[in-house]
Each structure stands twice: as C-alpha cells, then as structure tokens.
Chain A
Amino acid sequence: MIQRRSFLHTSAAISLLGLGACATTASIPAKAKVVVIGGGYGGATAAKYVRLLSEYKIDVVMIEPNYNFVSCPISNLVIGGSKQLADLTTPYSGLSSNHGVTVVRDTVTSIDPSKKTVTLSQGQSIAYDKLIVSPGIDLNFASIEGLKAASESGQILQAWKAGAETVALRKQLEAMPDGGTYAIAIPLAPYRCPPGPYERASQVAWYFKTKKPKSKVLILDANPDVTSKGPLFKAVWANDYKGILEYRGNHKTVAVDARTNTVKFDVQDDVTATVLNVLPAMRAGQIALQTGLANQANNNWCGVNYVTFESTSAKDIHILGDSIQIAPGMPKSGHMANSQAKVCATAVVAQLSGWEVNVAPMLTNTCYSFVDDKRVVHVASVHQIGQFDGRTTFVTVPGSGGVTAAATGATELEGVYAMNWAKNIWADTLG
C-alpha cells in the first residue's frame, strides 16, 4: 500500500487549496472528469493537453502500470548498441508536478461503458465523464505456432514494446558468436511502426559490420516489399551492408521451432538463425479488445470518429494511437499518437465545456529512422479531415509530405534533427 501510494501524484489543484500535505497519501480518486488509460505517446499527451487546454479546470487521472515512460522511437539504437535504455526513459512526474495530472501506477482490468467506470487491479473503481483509452498494441501470439512458449522462455524475443526486452535482445546479439545470423520476421501490415523492423535490421547490420563482420542479418517479411521508406533503406543496404543484410519479401511466418531456432512459412522454405526476432500479427491493446471497442478489421482495431476520436461503439470512450483503425496514409507511430491526442483532448475539452467541436482538426506525422549510429532517413505527412470512399476520415493534404530526398539519402544532419525531435516530443508528451 505504501509503495503504491508513493507513486500517486495528486492534482496540483489540491495543493492550491492548501492541502499539499495530503499529496503523497491520498487514495485513488473515486471520480474524475477525464480518466486516461495508458501513458504512452497517446495517453500521456492527452492527459497533459486536456489539462493545458482546459486551463487546468478539468481534472485528469492517468492510469499506467510502468514507473517510467520508455520510448519506442530511438529504442532500436539500444539494440544497435549506440544508445542505452536510460537515454530514452522519462519519468511520469512531470505530468503531475507541471500539469496536475493524477498519475496512478496501476492496471485497468475492466471498463464498464454503461456505468462509466474503470476497475483497477486491486478492485478499486474510478468513475469518469470521459474515458480516453490509449493501450497500444497487443501481440497476437496465437498467429504463430510455438511463439508464445518460445517468447515466455526468453528464447525468441519481440522487443516491440521498449523496455527490459529491448535490452534482452541486445544481450542475445552480444552473446552471439561472430559468424552467426540474426533474423527478424515481420507480420503483414498494419503493425506498430511501419519502418521499425527495417530500422532495426539496419541497426543490427551496423553492429555486425563494426563488431562482428562475419555475421549476417536476414529480413523475413510477410509483406511483398519493404512497407516504408523502401528505396531509401534499399540504397543503404546496397551501399553499406552488402553481403551482410539480405531482404526476403513474401515470407509469412506461421510457426517457430524453439528447439532448432527455426522459422516456418506458409509457402517458403524454413529458415534457421542464431538469434530470432519474430514479430507476430498485432491488434488493439487487450483492454480495448475485451471491452468490445475493437470493432473493425475482423475485430482487430478500434473504429473511431476521426473528428473526436470517440469510439464508434461506446459513447464517451475515446481511443488513441496504435489501437485504432487507421485512416488512409495514417501510420501507427508515436508522433501520430501524440498528434491524435491533441485533437482528442481539444474535442473532449469542448464537449465537457458545452462548446462546438472543431470539425477541421489537423494531424502531422514525422518519422525518423536511423540506418547506423548517426545517419537518418525520414517520412513526413500532414493530414486533414476529408472524404475517402464515401466516409469522413483523415486524408493527407494534397502536395504535402514526403521522404528524404533520394539524392542525399541518409545524412548525419537528419540524425541531429532526429535526436532533437525525440527530446522535443518527449518534453511535449511528458514535460
């Protein structure tokens, strides 16, 4: 109890009332105007911006099981060896001390959309007027035979949620003898972070090239071709990692054999590697699935009204980030989740204040990929509300967006911008 209490950061509003002494011993509030589930790029940004945009008049409780925010963007550099996990770790304390968000270190075990309550792991419940659900992805281990057991034993890792597993994968690569093979298996799109697997393969290839030159990287992609920044990655692979990195499309993983460290495909021949990094199919986070919010694409992703990010199946529940059914050209990325969170926060503040909701919100996406320890390529886009297939949705603004110019390819200048992007978005999300 003491331990949990110490991680409760109570509202600055309480301190303003001269009861700051209660701040470290207060119980979990029974009610909040806005409850946010998940402290990733989506949830943390939403919590902060509801406070900012309401001029600190709307109380926000954010429920998140982890002590600190660990960024997925930049985490492939930990696997490559040029960054440490601490470099991409930010405490949640800024949300409470700077913005008066009540951060509860716990997990939501259920949502009752009719009673408008969430229940925590110890049975306490919190009532809400508005619920913002930003649970990230669920890895669907059932999509690959044998993967669940191999993952739980620590042998075949995913490391697709940054944290201890990121470090564990790095240790497997360090322990691998020179002359070994690292293979990454990629599921069919959509999945979290489209260019992420190719960035990771590039990071491992850079590590091998500099430290274990007899070793190989193998990309086993269920998709027919590289799903993001294809020509840019391929140029780097041809110029810098020739003979080290090999790409194979149309390799859909169906099973793994942990005994022999083998991957099996629906059509292609089996592949055996020294270090296997197998990513299963992905879907909306568990709490969204069990609440019935995942009502799109075979009940894998959550349908939302894009103007408010309110669920198409549950009133006053808004969903953000990787869990949602994407609009055309909308990636599942941290930057996009941050952008969505601001649109959602604006709509939630307007609705709670009795104001009309903005019908023309905007989103941006900026995504940098490191191809070694310093050089970077990007993709960027700007999105506005429009019509697609007879539906109101986000569409990319005609003429906007693009990727790193082919003529320059990966540069150190973009590497500088990428690290500056990271520091600024971490502050925008959590500071």
Chain B
Amino acid sequence: MKKQTIWNILTVSLLALHTVPAAAQDATTINLKSLAATCANCHGTNGKAFEGSAVVTLAGLPKDYIVTQMKAFASGQRPATIMHQLAKGYSDTQIEQIASYFAAQKK
C-alpha cells in the first residue's frame, strides 16, 4: 500500500510537469518528425540504421544529396529495387522537408 501511495504522489507530480510543453516542441516540429518517421521503418529511427546495414543511414547526409537521390530514384535515373516506387510517393516539398530533417540529425 505504501508503495502505491508513493506511486500516486509521483504520478500526480509528473502529470503536473507534463502540462508545461517545451518551448522547442510544437505541432510543426512533431509533424516534420512524423513525416521523416515514414522512412524509419527501413532506415532506422531518426534515420540511424543498424551498424553494417545495407539500407543506408540517412542521419547526417547532406540535404542536397538526399534531395538529388530521391529525385534520381523517382525519375528512374538511379536504378533501384524499391526506392523508385517509394520516392514517387512524396512531393518535392516533402522531399525538401525530409532531407532537411535528416541532414540535421547526428550520424
């Protein structure tokens, strides 16, 4: 019972903390993270693939490189097994946003 009481107090105090959102975090930020997270299934959370992965780590790649490669996949200029099909699903604006996000992530 004692432990339960401690837990409740902690929970209440934590909830109080939760009501104050961080300044850096807003709807635009999480929507961008969420868009970039559509790549994470294959390329790893925040663009960090596992060590030695044949699917590249996107985190820390230059923005222009990501944009160029996505457009090369979409146009068929860069041959691929699957990326040409996925690249065609994103608008130019979305590609720019995703590329900026991953370029800003630490490797």
- CA of A29 to CA of B3, assembled, Å: 10
Interface bracket on A: 35 or more
Q: Is A160 an interface residue (CB 8 A)?
A: no
Which of chain B's residues 19-41 have a Cβ closer than 8 Å to chain A? 21-22, 24-27, 30-31, 33-35, 37-41
Q: Is A25 an interface residue (CB 8 A)?
A: yes
Q: Out of B4, B40, B42, B88, which one reaches A399, CB within 8 Å?
A: B88
Hey, which chain A residues are within 8 Å of B54, CB to CB?
416-417, 420
**In angstroms, how far is the closest chain A Cβ from the Cβ of B95?**
12
Q: For the complex of A and B, list the 3 residue pairs with the smallest distance between their C-beta atoms, beginning with the closest.
A: A382-B89, A400-B89, A355-B27
Interface segment, one of B45-53, B63-71, B99-107: B45-53
Check A19–B10 contact: CB distance below 8 A.
yes
**In angstroms, how far is the closest chain B Cβ from the Cβ of A406?**
13
Q: Is A385 an interface residue (CB 8 A)?
A: no
Nearest A-chain residue to B45, judged by Cβ: A428
Hey, which chain A residues are within 8 Å of B37, CB to CB?
49, 342
Q: Is the interface of A mostly helix, strand, loop or mixed?
A: mixed
Check A382–B86 contact: CB distance below 8 A.
yes
Check B30–A57 contact: CB distance below 8 A.
no
Check B88–A364 contact: CB distance below 8 A.
no
Hey, which chain A residues are within 8 Å of B26, CB to CB?
355
Q: Is the interface of B mostly helix, strand, loop or mixed?
A: helix
Q: Is A238 an interface residue (CB 8 A)?
A: no
- CA of A338 to CA of B41, assembled, Å: 7
- CA of A27 to CA of B2, assembled, Å: 10
Check A362–B53 contact: CB distance below 8 A.
no
30 contacts between A and B (CB under 8 A): A19-B6, A27-B4, A27-B7, A30-B4, A30-B7, A31-B15, A33-B15, A55-B22, A57-B22, A339-B38, A342-B37, A350-B27, A355-B30, A364-B41, A366-B41, A366-B42, A380-B82, A382-B88, A402-B85, A404-B81, A417-B55, A420-B49, A421-B41, A421-B55, A423-B53, A424-B43, A424-B44, A424-B50, A424-B53, A428-B44
Q: Is A26 an interface residue (CB 8 A)?
A: yes
Q: Is A14 an interface residue (CB 8 A)?
A: yes
Interface bracket on B: 35 or more
Hey, which chain B residues are within 8 Å of A411, CB to CB?
81
Check B50–A427 contact: CB distance below 8 A.
yes
Check B55–A400 contact: CB distance below 8 A.
no
Q: Per-residue CB proximity of A369-382 to B under 8 Å, as 1/0?
A: 00000000010111
Q: Out of A30, A404, A425, which one reaches B11, CB within 8 Å?
A: A30
Q: Out of B4, B25, B38, which one reaches A342, CB within 8 Å?
A: B38
Q: Is A22 an interface residue (CB 8 A)?
A: yes
| A59-B38 CB under 8 A given contacts A404-B81, A428-B45 | no
- CA of A425 to CA of B88, assembled, Å: 22
**In angstroms, how far is the closest chain B Cβ from the Cβ of A355?**
4
Check B4–A425 contact: CB distance below 8 A.
no
Check A26–B50 contact: CB distance below 8 A.
no
- CA of A27 to CA of B7, assembled, Å: 8
- CA of A355 to CA of B28, assembled, Å: 9
Nearest A-chain residue to B83, judged by Cβ: A380
- CA of A425 to CA of B40, assembled, Å: 7
| A397-B3 CB under 8 A given contacts A17-B10, A339-B38, A416-B54 | no
**In angstroms, how far is the closest chain B Cβ from the Cβ of A337?**
10
- CA of A396 to CA of B81, assembled, Å: 19
| A353-B86 CB under 8 A given contacts A25-B3, A31-B11 | no
